[in-house]
């Protein structure tokens, strides 16, 4: 089947099976590997991307659900690590192993796009679905708080 | 380790291959000059096995350890750059080739040995060697300049990538030296007196950023699952649900009939399916019908019964393996004025690194290439070579970032699987484990029962200490069971083991997690029983151990131990060592008595890790390890029923989420000139005890079985 959507601002066409999945299409067919596989069942958030600006778990999203939509991945958040969250992430030295961080940043970016000044409680509620095993949560919080009003 | 690492890695490997049997060690034996020079461009040169210099001033330093989030790729390069006196802003870091003779370390920090990244040993093990190697690289540059300018090398000074000759006012940058530097036949061992004076350190002990962080905020850091090879196919495996059973596929023809399935591969412990894309491989795996044959030992293992088995074994008169012994416990314990006893338990737990295991392999007729994030780089190269009957040199290992290791990635089982499948289908293969695979075919931190007994003498002092650890996993059980910093005259610490036939493995801090939980909770119980302050009791016990005492005092001071605590909250304190580092913690908790949920509001931690190379990251490692420890203490439990793991993904094996993170974490590092010790696990071992101790202070009840789930908390509260 032929699928068409806007990926990080550019139209793409992908030929894939009917049951093609968004995560594996991004990673394997389009070789955009910043989006990670973590649990496969929407429990960890490592695979978070945006569809039309909303955060979705790409691991449980079929490619057909992206048809005609705008998909944004970590690679499309900025060209040069200049998104305020990326800047704050570097300033606060947030990542350890780094595997969950694309998902963390994409989840946070969707929050700030909607609500540029969330309080701590709102941040925690919004971010709670994205797991980190290295224990970077407090720095994630700090980096998001630092980025409020800048997005 | 940006995206171009692959090609850079290959060129490096080429120069190493040219070396054949020549030793590359940068030691008194000297630098193998000819080998490095061959094939090098004029504008860039290999100065030693550890560093490559370009005419634009770029200094590429090779990282000998796996980077799994602990940040040592930065710290190790900083040690080298410090003594080379390189300009840190021009330093690039690449993974070293997997050549343990050059880049490995022995357990005593000697050169050679293994590149295995475990036990928080990277900085402590490499510290002296990297200072020496950095100083030797500087020596090579200075010698070249001295010859060029016709001056005495000893008259030259350096400052961050520039060589000066104060007498003549001449200066030259490191990059400019590339053009004329000759790699000498030999480089002497630089005496310690010629190494930098620590007061002149610009990097060690200073603040600088991690090298890997930028690549981890834009998705460009490469993990093994991110590798693509031409013609690569995808594999998934259904593995034995009970360790040791063998598969018999019942619906082979329907699996083969799935469009896109290319092949099936029988393995001893499972069936692999190979497909043209990931979705098909995973779909085929999900519908395989397999009968599991055999009657291995694991089949009779029910973890809920294990504690009874351990209790029975504890009564055996046969002593297990002795971890530590002093005085005459058997004579003195019966004479005690008072005896205090308590039992502690901990369930199996799972690594749950965020990146499920995966590897890319391409096995050819007489060689193999593997891309993997592994803690055991040379171990993997060896295991693959042995498995395929190849020699070490015929296996090319491309190292990648690890999406967490925690001990699980020191095993090579998943790489061997990828190799087997690639060999069977004669194609490059990406093997992907699902989260369920990763959990159910995990190798867990062992379950154990800990029986502690203390004898109190007529003066109210602890005169005898008996600690028996009973569990599975053999050598994994004993780490951290000794208490050399507590002066107790009569002591017997032993481990008794039952093999259940299930897979166990090192998990961050290994036995220190369960053992320090038991020890430090027991000390708290003794203190309460003796009506002593638990902080003061520890001070008495470690009064002859000034470093330990300083760490304990530091955390007590930070938290103002003994000062009033907000209504409805209480604090607990504990001390633990790990990998030579000393750490103490205090937490402040509250408990929802209707739900049984514990909330940890604050944690204070103090650390003595000797010379700390990268303090900001060291603190962050401690923060991470105590958050991971908190997760294990509150939530995590793997159970077996008839040998089969009962959990499967994060819904029934929850790990800590942001809402349960402490509100505040305060950490301090004690300044030290002692040799560096391991820091990556030091915050974890005391977590069980500080929470149990705070809970006891708050409720008068004692939590003695990890994890402290709401159900267990409610049960203890109503007891």
The ipTM, to two decimals, is 0.98
Using alpha carbons only, what angle is made at residue B373 by residues A142 and B411, rounded to the nearest 5 degrees?
115
pLDDT of residue B109: 85
- The residue ranges of every structural domain in chain B are 5-208, 224-295+357-432, 304-348+444-717
Cα–Cα distance measured from residue B332 to residue B336, given in angstroms and rounded to the nearest whole number: 7
Report the residue of chain A nearest B3, measured CA to CA.
Answer: A33
Using the Cα atoms of residue B623, residue B629, residue B633 and residue B638 in order, give the sign of their dihedral. Answer: positive
- Residues A65, A100, single domain; the answer is no
Average of pLDDT values for B309-335? 96
Picking from A135, A1, A129, A86, the residue whose alpha carbon sits closest to that of residue B605 is A135
Q: What is the pLDDT of residues B423-458, one digit of tens each?
A: 999 999 999 999 999 999 999 999 999 999 999 999
Same domain, A15 and A66: yes
Q: Within this chain, do residues A11 and A44 fall inside the same structural domain, yes or no?
A: yes
Q: pTM for this structure?
A: 0.95
Question: Do the beta carbons of residue A8 and residue A72 sit within 8 Å?
Answer: yes
- Write out the two tokens for B452: 């502690």
Q: What is the pLDDT of residue B35?
A: 36
Q: Return all residues near B4 (Cβ < 8 A) that are at least 6 apart.
A: none
Read off the pLDDT of residues B586-625 as tens digits, 9 standing for 90 and up: 999 999 999 999 999 999 999 999 999 999 999 999 999 9
- How much of chain B exceeds pLDDT 70, in percent? 94
| Cα separations in angstroms, B333 against A70, B28, B199, B311, B489 | 73, 55, 51, 20, 11
- Looking at domain B5-208, which CATH architecture does it have? 2-Layer Sandwich (3.30)
Using alpha carbons, list the distances in angstroms from residue B578 to B9, B132, B419, B463, B482: 34, 26, 36, 25, 11
A128 interfaces chain B, CB cutoff of 8 Å: yes
Interface probe, candidates A36, A134, A141, chain B, greatest B C-beta count within 10 A: A134
pLDDT at B2: 38
Are A72 and A110 in the same domain?
A: no
**H-assigned helices in B19-88:** 33-37, 72-84
Cβ–Cβ gap A24/B402 under 8 Å: no
* Higher per-residue confidence, B482 vs B20: B482
Q: Which residues contact B424 (CB under 8 A, 6 or more apart)?
A: B263, B265, B272, B274
Cβ atoms < 10 Å from Cβ of B675: 13
Contact B279 A20 (CB under 8 A): yes
Q: What is the pLDDT of residue B12?
A: 39
Cβ-nearest to A97 among B69, B225, B662? B69
**How far from B648 is each of A40, A45, B411, B437, CA to CA, in Å?**
12, 17, 21, 8
pLDDT band at B185 (very low <50, low <70, confident <90, very high): confident
Give residue for tokens 């590897």: B359
Tell the CATH topology of B304-348+444-717: Aldehyde Oxidoreductase; domain 4 (3.30.365)
Residue of A131, A105, A115 lying closest to A43 (CA atoms):
A131
Q: What is the pLDDT of residues B96-107, one digit of tens each?
A: 999 999 999 998
Tokens linked to B128: 């002296």
Asked, as a colleague might, if the bond just before B707 is cis with ω within 30 of 0, I would say yes
Say whether both A54 and A89 belong to one domain: no
Q: A127 and chain B: CB distance < 8 Å anywhere? A: yes
Q: What is the CA radius of gyration of chain B?
A: 28
For B454, the token pair is 């203390």
* End position of a domain, from candidates A41, A76, A111: A76
Mean pLDDT of all residues in chain B? Answer: 93
The pLDDT assigned to B41 comes to 53
B355–A contact, CB cutoff 8 A: yes
| A101: closest CA of chain B, how far (Å) | 7
| Closest-approach residue (CA) in chain A for B650 | A43
In percent, how much of chain A has pLDDT > 70? Answer: 100
At B525-553, the pLDDT tens digits run 999 999 999 999 999 999 999 999 999 99
Q: Residues B577, B578, B579, B583: is their CA dihedral positive or negative? A: negative
Q: In the CATH hierarchy, which fold is given to the domain comprising B224-295+357-432?
A: Aldehyde Oxidoreductase; domain 4 (3.30.365)
Dmax over Cα atoms in chain B, in whole Å? Answer: 85
Domain boundary among A21, A44, A76: A76
Can you give the pLDDT at residue A91?
98
A95 at B interface, C-beta within 8 A: yes
Could you tell me how many residues make up chain B?
Answer: 719
pLDDT bracket for residue B3 (50, 70, 90): very low
B451: nearest Cα among B418, B484, B496: B496
Where a domain ends, among A59, A76, A93?
A76
pLDDT tier for residue B6 given thresholds of 50, 70 and 90: very low
- At residue B225, φ and ψ (nearest 5 deg) are -65, -15
Is there a contact between B201 and B82 (Cβ–Cβ < 8 Å)?
Answer: yes
Query: How sure is the predictor about B261, in pLDDT bands with cuts at 50, 70 and 90?
Result: very high
Q: Domain containing A32: what range?
A: 2-76
Number of domains in chain A: 2
Among candidates B526, B663, B677, B670, which has minimal Cα distance to B584? B670
Which of A17, A30, A98 to mutate to test binding with chain B, by most B CBs within 10 Å of its CB? A98
What is the H or E stretch that residue B207 is in?
A: none
Per residue in A18-58, pLDDT (tens digit) is 999 999 999 999 999 999 999 999 999 999 999 999 999 99
**If you write DSSP's letter for every residue of B642-679 in order, what string do you get?**
TTEE---STTTS----GGGS-SEEEEEE----SPP---
Helix axes A101-114, A120-127, angle to 10 degrees: 130
Element containing residue B93 per DSSP (H, E): strand B91-95
A36 CB neighbours in chain B (<8 A) are 223, 225, 354-355, 403
Taking phi first (over 0 means left), then psi (-120 to 50 degrees means alpha), and beta for anything else, what does residue B162 get?
A: beta
**CA dist list (Å): B124 to B110, B217, B414, B610:** 11, 29, 29, 9
Strand B261-267, strand B270-275: pairing: antiparallel
Q: Extract the tokens encoding B219.
A: 């998705």
Contact between A44 and B439 (Cβ < 8 Å): no
B435 shares contact with chain A (CB less than 8 Å)? yes
- The Cα B552–Cα B471 span in angstroms is 30
Mark whether A60 and A89 lie in a shared domain: no
Residue A84 near residue A111, CB atoms below 8 Å: no
3-state SS class at B330:
helix
Q: How far apart are CA B418 and CA B401, in angstroms?
A: 18
Do residues A114 and A149 touch, judged by C-beta distance below 8 A?
no
**B639 three-class SS:** coil
pLDDT per position as a tens digit, B571-594: 999 999 999 999 999 999 999 999
**pLDDT at B28 > cutoff 80:** no
Interface of B with A in 59-98 (CB under 8 A): 68-71
Do the domains at B224-295+357-432 and B304-348+444-717 have one common CATH topology? yes
Q: What is the mean pLDDT of residues B241-248?
A: 98
Which chain B residues contact residue A19 at CB under 8 A? Answer: 279, 283
- B369-379 burial string, b = 16+ CB within 10 Å, else e? bbbbbbbbbbb
Integer Cα distance of B430 and B234 in angstroms: 5
Residue B435: list chain A partners with CB under 8 A: 38-41, 44
Q: What is the CATH number of the domain that holds A134?
A: 1.10.150.120
Tell whether A94 and A71 lie within a shared domain. no
Q: Do A95 and B623 touch (CB under 8 A)?
A: no
Task: Tell me if B210 and A93 make a contact (CB, 8 A cut-off).
Answer: yes
**Over 80: is that where the pLDDT of B20 sits?**
no
Closest Cβ–Cβ partner in B355, B436, B627 for A135:
B627
Tell me how far apart the alpha carbons of residues B712 and B636 are, in angstroms, rounded to a whole number: 13
Within B138-177, strands assigned E span 157-158, 162-165, 170-173
- Assess A27–B contact: CB distance below 8 Å, yes or no: yes
Give the count of alpha carbons within 13 A of B223, CB side only. 30
């Amino acid at each position: 089947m032929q699928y068409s959507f806007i990926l990080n601002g550019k139209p793409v066409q992908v030929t894939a099976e009917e049951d093609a999945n968004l995560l594996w299409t991004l990673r394997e067919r389009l070789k955009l590997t910043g989006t990670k596989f973590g649990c496969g069942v929407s429990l960890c958030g490592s695979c978070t991307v945006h569809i039309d600006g909303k955060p979705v778990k790409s691991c449980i999203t079929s490619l057909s659900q992206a048809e005609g939509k705008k998909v944004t991945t970590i690679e499309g958040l900025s060209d040069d690590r200049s998104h305020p969250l990326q800047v704050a992430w570097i300033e606060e030295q947030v990542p350890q192993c780094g595997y969950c961080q694309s998902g963390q940043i994409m989840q946070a970016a969707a929050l700030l796009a909607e609500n540029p000044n969330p309080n701590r409680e709102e941040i925690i509620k919004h971010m709670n679905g994205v797991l980190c095993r290295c224990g970077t949560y407090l720095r994630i919080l700090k980096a998001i708080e630092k980025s409020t009003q800048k997005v | 380790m940006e995206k171009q690492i692959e090609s850079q890695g290959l060129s490096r490997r080429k120069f190493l291959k040219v070396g054949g049997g020549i030793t590359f060690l940068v030691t008194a034996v000297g630098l193998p000059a000819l080998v490095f020079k061959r094939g090098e461009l004029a504008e860039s040169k290999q100065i030693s096995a550890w560093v490559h210099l370009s005419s634009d001033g770029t200094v590429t330093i090779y990282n000998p350890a796996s980077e799994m989030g602990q940040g040592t790729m930065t710290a190790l390069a900083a040690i080298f750059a410090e003594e080379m006196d390189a300009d840190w802003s021009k330093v690039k870091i690449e993974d070293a080739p997997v050549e343990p003779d050059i880049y490995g370390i022995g357990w005593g920090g000697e050169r050679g040995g293994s590149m295995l990244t475990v036990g928080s040993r990277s900085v402590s093990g490499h510290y002296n060697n990297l200072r020496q190697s950095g100083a030797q690289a500087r020596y090579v540059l200075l010698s070249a300049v001295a010859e060029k300018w016709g001056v005495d090398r000893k008259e030259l000074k350096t400052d961050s990538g520039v060589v000066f000759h104060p007498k003549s006012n001449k200066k030259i940058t490191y990059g400019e030296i590339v053009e004329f530097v000759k790699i000498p036949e030999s480089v002497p061992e630089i005496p310690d007196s010629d190494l930098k004076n620590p007061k002149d350190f610009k990097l060690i002990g200073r603040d600088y950023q991690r090298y890997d962080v930028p690549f981890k905020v834009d998705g460009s850091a490469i993990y093994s699952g991110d590798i693509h090879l031409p013609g690569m196919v995808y594999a998934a495996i259904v593995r034995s649900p009970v360790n040791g059973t063998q598969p018999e596929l019942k619906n082979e023809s329907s699996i083969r009939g799935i469009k896109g399935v290319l092949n099936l591969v029988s393995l001893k412990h499972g069936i692999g399916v190979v497909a043209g894309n990931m979705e098909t491989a995973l779909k085929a795996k999900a519908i395989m019908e397999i009968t599991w044959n055999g009657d291995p030992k694991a089949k009779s293992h029910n973890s809920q019964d294990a504690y009874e088995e351990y209790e029975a074994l504890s009564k055996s008169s046969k002593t297990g393996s002795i971890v530590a012994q002093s005085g005459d416990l058997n004579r003195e314990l019966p004479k005690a004025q008072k005896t205090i006893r308590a039992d502690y338990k901990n369930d199996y737990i799972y690594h749950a690194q965020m990146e499920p295991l995966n590897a890319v392999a391409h096995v050819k007729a007489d060689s193999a290439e593997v891309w993997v994030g592994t803690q055991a780089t040379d171990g993997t190269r060896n295991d693959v070579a042995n498995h395929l009957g190849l020699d070490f040199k015929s296996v090319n290992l491309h190292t990648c970032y690890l999406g967490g290791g925690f001990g699980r990635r020191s095993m090579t089982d998943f790489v061997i699987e990828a190799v087997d499948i690639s060999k069977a289908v004669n194609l490059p293969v990406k093997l992907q484990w699902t989260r369920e695979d990763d959990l159910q075919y995990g190798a867990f931190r062992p379950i154990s029962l800990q029986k502690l007994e203390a004898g109190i003498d007529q003066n109210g002092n602890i005169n005898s200490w008996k600690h028996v650890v009973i569990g599975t996993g053999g050598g994994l059980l004993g780490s951290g069971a000794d208490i050399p910093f507590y002066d107790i005259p009569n002591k017997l610490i032993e481990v008794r083991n039952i093999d259940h036939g299930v897979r166990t493995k090192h998990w961050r801090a290994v036995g220190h997690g369960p053992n320090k939980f038991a020890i430090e909770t027991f000390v708290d119980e003794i203190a309460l029983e003796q009506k002593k302050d638990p902080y003061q009791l520890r001070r008495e016990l470690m009064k002859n151990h000034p470093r330990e005492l300083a760490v304990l005092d530091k955390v007590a001071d930070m938290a103002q131990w003994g000062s009033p605590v907000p209504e409805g909250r209480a604090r607990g304190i504990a001390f633990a060592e790990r990998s030579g580092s000393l750490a103490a913690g205090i937490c402040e908790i509250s408990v929802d008595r209707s739900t049984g949920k514990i909330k940890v509001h604050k944690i204070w931690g103090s650390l003595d890790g000797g010379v700390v190379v990268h303090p900001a990251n060291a603190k962050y490692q401690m923060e991470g390890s105590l958050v991971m420890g908190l997760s294990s203490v509150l939530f995590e439990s793997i159970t077996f029923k008839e040998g089969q793991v009962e959990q499967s993904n994060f819904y029934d094996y929850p790990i800590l989420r942001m809402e349960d993170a402490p509100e505040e974490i305060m950490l301090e590092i004690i300044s030290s000139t002692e040799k560096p010790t391991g820091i990556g696990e030091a915050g974890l071992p005391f977590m069980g005890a500080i929470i149990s101790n705070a809970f006891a202070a708050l409720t008068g009840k004692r939590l003695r079985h990890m994890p402290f789930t709401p159900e267990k908390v409610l049960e203890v509260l109503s007891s």
